[in-house]
Amino acid sequence: MGKYILKRLGLLIPTLLGVITLVFFMIALSPGDPARVMLGERASAEQLARLRADMGLDRPLHQQYFSYLGRIAHFDLGKSITTGRPVVKEIMELFPATMELAFFAMLIASVAGIIIGVISATRRNTMVDYVSMVGALFGVSMPVFWLGLVLIMIFSVFFDFFPTGGRMNIRYYMETITNFYLIDSLIAVFKTGDWHYLGSALKHLILPAVALGTIPLAIIARTTRSSMLEVLKQDYVKTARAAGIPERKVVYRYALKNALLPIITVIGIQFGLLLSGAILTETIFAWPGIGKWIYHSISARDYPAVQGGIIVISTVFVLINLLVDILYSVVNPKVRLK
Amino acid sequence: MKRSIMFLSIALVLLLAVPMAFAGGEKEAASSAGGDGKMGGTLVFARSGDSVGLDPARETDGESFYGATAVFDNLVEFVPGKTEVRPALAESWEVADDNLSVTFKLRRGVKFHDGTDFTADAVVFTFERQFKEDHPYYNLGPWKYWGYMDMSNIVDEVVAVDDYTVRFDLKKPEAPFLANLAMDFAGIVSPAAVEKLGEDFKNKPVGTGPFKFVEWRKDDAIIFERNKDYWADDVYLDRLILRVIPDATARWLALQKGEVDVVDFPSAQDLQAMKNDPKVKVMQQEGLNVGYLAFNTTKKPFDNKLVRQALNYAINKEEIITAVYGSAGTPAKNPLPPTMWSYNDDIKDYPYDPAKAKQLLAQAGFPNGFSTQLWAMPVARPYNPNARKIAEIMQAQFAEIGVQTDIVSYEWGTYLDKTDNLEHDMAMLGWTGDNGDPDNFLWVLLSAPAAEPPAGNIAAWKNAEFTALLAEAKETMDQARRTELYRKAQEIFKEEAPWLTIAHSVVSIPMKNSVQGFHIYPTGKRVFRGVWIEK
């Protein structure tokens, strides 16, 4: 197993090299010159030329590419063209926010999705099933920005349960160490016994997590349902029922465990998608995350920032896939990792 | 039953709020004369994006300037809500007889936030780092605005005559120079802090301004606190928080909920609801901008004045305003916005008159019209929220007089490159003013020298008389005479019709009723000195 994990981690390098190369050339060959975008309506020819030279854009493409690779090999992701700050630093500030949000969204989506899926499957063709599956269809097709705004209007403005956006009450000042606010606020609880920060962080997290988790929730529910239906038809389930084992135990102990494989896959993929797909949620909920940052960087043709962001997300994506494969072997001993 | 109680209470609140809102207005007027705002409180300003950096001379985006404006003072500053300038860190100034140097007397006893003294050396440092290539901090640039405003061709030397006197030697007489000094890039920085922080100065700015920088949470908030030693007594807020909420509707919801006090760039669709909300007031003013359609006069048939006039007659601006700008825009008749001094309000716009347009086209030799391209920007700009939609309306209206148009668009950077190179037939574009000086619109957008690629004058319109008027106004320090010249220039512009002026967008700033003393600055600054919260 250890060997397998090492091998899979080793595969990260060619994967990332592929990603970096692809992204580099996609950005470099797409129309639009970063200097032009930065300087806007009022740029003079000299200013453009000088900025291009400063940014190394006047050098041949292959030279830019190899010098970039060289720097990455030294774990230097360069400086953002727009802000001039090291890309690594910006990512360290923003990525935890996205991770926190995506993790919470997936937690909600997985728990709720599996429960709804199982109920639907066991009560197939009943009202409960129809309602859940139509609900799931809505969930999948719901525009996130619309859902987000509706959630804010109802639960924040009308009922005043939650704040409209942000990660923490703006008037609080909490010392940030990891930039994972839940962790930082827990540290604050231990240090000072002050629960305010944790409460505020949780309150801020719920609405965006629900908004972001809705689509995965619907997909997970549907996958769970079909996977469960498949398993429930199998002979061993019939046998178990015939043997008089309580239905609850049949469903949750025997059937669900075998139905989990495709669900885990879907959860893994959805989690990866959430990381890059959180842009809309981050925008609506003023969540200072990496999705929005990458989006802005793309519009500004900020190569180093886009590359850095994508490298980080790809790495996490690959790691999650690895985790999914390991979970496979835990859930199903027939799967051996070699 | 419950519902009707709710409506009743809303109606009651409305009834109470209307006279209160008026009362608020009166107080505001009184305060700008007396300056007796209430001390204390935190103001949260919700805006659409984060600052890039807070060294005002390095950055070009409004969001960066919002932060910088709080931290830095200039030698001169704009009168709140106007384009005229008044003394700030300079108490007075004198222009030499030959118009080739300006001497500033500086305010005494002013300190930077790091405790160092503000003297003439700081002024010299602030400017020399932007243009003297051997200055030790020149390499912290690029100093983009210095370039945009062409300052290297205006300023020759900045000399500290004594500790509290600074002289600017100019290369040529340049009347807009003084307005340039009120712009953000001319904010006076603490030399000691730049020396200490270097590259990091833009993340931890130090000036003499009304607010001290406290903390910056990337993409989330920048926090400032009151500068207790400020040289003027109209800084009331204890804390100022610039908070990022990217989505316009989400900003409005946050205001409704009371999480924020003032909201930047509201979405046009929400404006009516904001005006109806009894807890909210909406300030509105035409911005320092213009959106236009330029005719490329180097190409046929746009070299013909009659064709350009015909196209002006063919467009119904009201329809465009209603469909695209809503209450966030007013039709433009001049290249200058109405908030600019020297705006010529006597000028009559071309009315919507398709028959007249057809007749002019026939006179010009195109009785059956012609085919051409209509370029539209791919992005929303402050002066034009939706160029594609405007293009579609224009396309239909031009078709009525027989002018067939293909709508063309490119990625934004490419669009600017191509219009700079005058590759278009008709192209939409616009401008947001920097320094509140008419020269900053007319010279860069319409003078003959600006018609050479890369052209700021994308109509490539070269009118000798027009350019001569501008050139004289540039060198004249007397504002009355300049006003005369610019008014005349606007007449020529209208007659020659190198553009179809579309609209000036209106800046709307909704805020809680409790926020007092806020002014919309035509130059786009957001200034929180003088703002207080009524409790």
Answer yes or no: are the C-beta atoms of B485 and B478 closer than 8 Å. no
Token reading at B415: 């669009």
Answer yes or no: are the C-beta atoms of B114 and B205 closer than 8 Å. no
pLDDT above 90 for B404:
yes
Token reading at A179: 């930039």
- Flag if B429 and A171 touch (Cβ within 8 Å): no
Token reading at A189: 């609880």
**3-class SS of residue B506:** strand
What DSSP letter does each residue of B133-166 carry, written as one string?
A: TTSTTGGG---HHHHHTTGGGTEEEEEEEETTEE
Angle, helices B464-475 vs B479-496, to 10°: value is 160
Half-sphere exposure of A242 (CA within 13 A, CB side): 6
Closest CA to B316 of B359, B265, B354, B261: B354
- List CB contacts (< 8 A) between B417 and chain A: 33, 36
Which of B49, B53, B454 is the closest to A84 by Cβ? B53
Q: Which of A46, A83, A94, A296 to mutate to test the interface with B (most CBs of B within 10 A)?
A: A83
> What would the pLDDT profile of B280-315 be if each residue is shown by its tens digit?
999 998 889 999 999 999 999 999 999 999 999 999
Average pLDDT over residues B380-391: 88
- List CB contacts (< 8 A) between A40 and chain B: 60, 416
More confident residue, B502 or B48: B502
Dihedral of the CA atoms B303, B309, B314, B316 (nearest 10)? 120
Q: What is the pLDDT of residue B398?
A: 96
Question: Cis omega before residue B453 (within 30°)?
Answer: no
Q: C-alpha angle with apex B427: B421 to B429, nearest 5 degrees?
A: 90
Token reading at A193: 């016994």
- Flag if A283 and B410 touch (Cβ within 8 Å): no
Report the relative pairing of strands B289-295 and B499-512 from DSSP bridges: antiparallel
In chain B, the percentage of residues whose pLDDT exceeds 90 is: 69
Half-sphere exposure of A338 (CA within 13 A, CB side): 3
Q: How far apart are CA B413 and CA B419, in angstroms?
A: 10
Which of A41, A82, A171 is the closest to B42 by Cβ? A171
Task: Please list the ranges in chain A whose pLDDT falls under 50.
Answer: none
Answer yes or no: are the C-beta atoms of B507 and B523 closer than 8 Å. no
Q: pTM of the prediction?
A: 0.79
Model confidence at B504, in pLDDT bands (50, 70, 90)?
Answer: very high
Q: How far apart are CA B54 and CA B72, in angstroms?
A: 10
R_g of chain B, CA atoms, integer Å: 25
Token reading at B311: 């196209």
B411: left (phi over 0), alpha (psi -120 to 50) or beta: beta
Query: At B371, which helix (H) or strand (E)?
Result: strand B371-375
Q: C-alpha distances in angstroms, B255 versus A149, A296, B454? A: 14, 25, 43
Residue type, B216: W
How remote is the C-alpha of B168 from its chain's centroid? 26
Average pLDDT over residues B128-152: 88
CA-based nearest residue in chain B for residue A296:
B49
Closest CA to A303 of A98, A77, A90, A48: A77
Residues near B279 by Cβ (< 8 Å), separated by ≥ 6? B17, B256, B258, B512, B513
Report the relative pairing of strands B101-106 and B90-95 from DSSP bridges: antiparallel
Task: Quote the minimal CA–CA distance from A72 to chain B in Å.
Answer: 22
Q: Which of B43, B183, B216, B218 to mutate to test the interface with A (most CBs of A within 10 A)?
A: B218
B516 DSSP β-pair partners? B532
pLDDT above 50 for B13:
no
How remote is the C-alpha of B337 from its chain's centroid? 10
Q: What is the pLDDT of residue B469?
A: 96
**3-class SS of residue B331:** strand
More confident residue, A169 or B185: B185
Half-sphere exposure of A243 (CA within 13 A, CB side): 9
Token reading at B261: 């006090």
Model confidence at B430, in pLDDT bands (50, 70, 90)?
Answer: very high
Q: What is the pLDDT of residue B5?
A: 44
The rounded mean pLDDT for chain A is: 84
Question: Cis omega before residue A34 (within 30°)?
Answer: no
Closest CA to B476 of B259, B25, B172, B38: B172
B211 DSSP β-pair partners? B226
- List CB contacts (< 8 A) between A93 and chain B: 217-219
Average pLDDT over residues B71-79: 95
Closest CA to A56 of A317, A304, A248, A312: A304
Q: What is the pLDDT of residue B303?
A: 95
Phi and psi for B206 in degrees, rounded to 5? -130, 120
pLDDT above 70 for B129:
yes
Token reading at B182: 């009120």
Q: Which ipTM score applies to this complex?
A: 0.78
- List CB contacts (< 8 A) between A293 and chain B: 219
Answer yes or no: are the C-beta atoms of A227 and A263 closer than 8 Å. yes
- List CB contacts (< 8 A) between A173 and chain B: 215
Query: At B434, which helix (H) or strand (E)?
Result: none
**Residue ranges with strand state E in A47-133:** none
Phi and psi for B343 in degrees, rounded to 5? -60, 130
> What would the pLDDT profile of B20-66 be if each residue is shown by its tens digit?
333 333 333 333 334 578 898 999 999 988 888 999 998 877 889 99
Report the relative pairing of strands B165-170 and B404-408 from DSSP bridges: unpaired
Q: How far apart are CA B223 and CA B210, in angstroms?
A: 13
- Flag if A286 and B147 touch (Cβ within 8 Å): no
B102 DSSP β-pair partners? B95, B168
Average pLDDT over residues B255-277: 90
Answer yes or no: are the C-beta atoms of B309 and B496 closer than 8 Å. no
Residues of B with CB under 8 A from a CB of A: 42, 44, 49, 52-53, 60, 142, 144, 147-148, 199, 202-203, 215, 217-221, 241, 243-247, 249-250, 253-254, 256-257, 259, 410-414, 416-417, 429, 431, 444, 454, 456
> What would the pLDDT profile of B363-383 be if each residue is shown by its tens digit?
999 999 999 999 999 888 878
Which of A149, A170, A283 is the closest to B221 by Cβ? A170
Q: How far apart are CA B493 and CA B490, in angstroms?
A: 5
Q: How far apart are CA B156 and CA B172, in angstroms?
A: 9
Task: Quote the minimal CA–CA distance from B266 to chain A in Å.
Answer: 14
**3-class SS of residue B240:** strand
Q: Which of A42, A50, A151, A158 to mutate to test the interface with B (most CBs of B within 10 A)?
A: A42
Which of A32, A41, A148 is the closest to B411 by Cβ? A32
Residues near B382 by Cβ (< 8 Å), separated by ≥ 6? B287, B289, B430, B432, B505, B524
Q: What is the pLDDT of residue B436?
A: 86
Q: How far apart are CA B356 and CA B107, in angstroms?
A: 60
First to last CA, chain B: 33
Q: What is the pLDDT of residue B389?
A: 93
Q: How far apart are CA A287 and CA B517, in angstroms?
A: 31
Task: Quote the minimal CA–CA distance from A45 to chain B in Å.
Answer: 7
Number of H helices, E strands in chain B: 16, 20
Closest CA to A309 of A93, A105, A102, A12: A93
- List CB contacts (< 8 A) between A43 and chain B: 416, 454
Token reading at B79: 């009168």
pLDDT above 60 for B8:
no
Closest CA to B531 of B288, B262, B285: B262
Q: Which of the 8 DSSP states describes residue B111? A: B
**3-class SS of residue A326:** helix
- Flag if B250 and A164 touch (Cβ within 8 Å): yes
